[in-house]
Amino acid sequence: MAPGIHESAGKRTPTGSRRGNKWLTLMLVEAVGSVARMHGKNYLAAQHARLSRRRGAGRAQVAVGHSILVIAFHMLSRDEPYRDLGADWHSRRDDAAHTRRLVAQLEHLGHTVQLDAAS
């Protein structure tokens, strides 16, 4: 479920997923199908929605399946229960970076942006 990378002359290009257990991959992709129908109610559903808009449904399924596999590994190795990060985790993880991204988008559209701190 991990992505493959081909590197030549210092340039890295993504390739398909590397070979792994096809049965595990099938089960993870099936689990992602049920997560995708939750429509932004948890972290994995929000991740799937974000990725499928940009990269397509197939790549989003593989990426979220990989995330499920990493989560399962950490749960088993640390003997901890699953704690969902929340559907809005991607937007609140770094407010300064999010602000910079939004300002850059507005400037790209031709607007002049001046930020004032809210009181």
In-domain check, residue 98: no
pLDDT at 20: 78
Render pLDDT for 33-75 as a digit per residue (tens, 0 to 9): 888 888 878 899 999 998 999 888 888 898 899 999 999 999 9
Q: What is the pTM of this model?
A: 0.67
With pLDDT > 90 as the criterion, what percentage of the chain qualifies? Answer: 33
Binned at pLDDT 50, 70 and 90, residue 119 comes out as: low
Ramachandran bin of 91, using left for φ above 0, alpha for ψ from -120 to 50, beta for the remaining angles: alpha
pLDDT at 1: 66
Q: What is the CA radius of gyration of the chain?
A: 18
Q: Is the pLDDT of residue 82 over 80?
A: yes
- State how far Cα 93 lies from the chain centre: 13
In-domain check, residue 64: yes
In-domain check, residue 109: no
pLDDT at 37: 86
Q: Is the pLDDT of residue 15 over 80?
A: no
Q: Is the pLDDT of residue 3 over 70?
A: no
Q: How many degrees, rounded to 5, is the angle at CA 78 between CA 28 and CA 73?
A: 20
Q: Looking at residues 89-111, what average pLDDT do you find? A: 87
Q: CA–CA separation, 1 vs 69, rounded Å?
A: 8
In-domain check, residue 67: yes
In-domain check, residue 19: yes
Which segments of the chain are extended strands (E)?
3-8, 11-17
Structural domain harbouring 82: 3-86
Q: How many independent structural domains does the chain possess?
A: 1
pLDDT at 72: 94
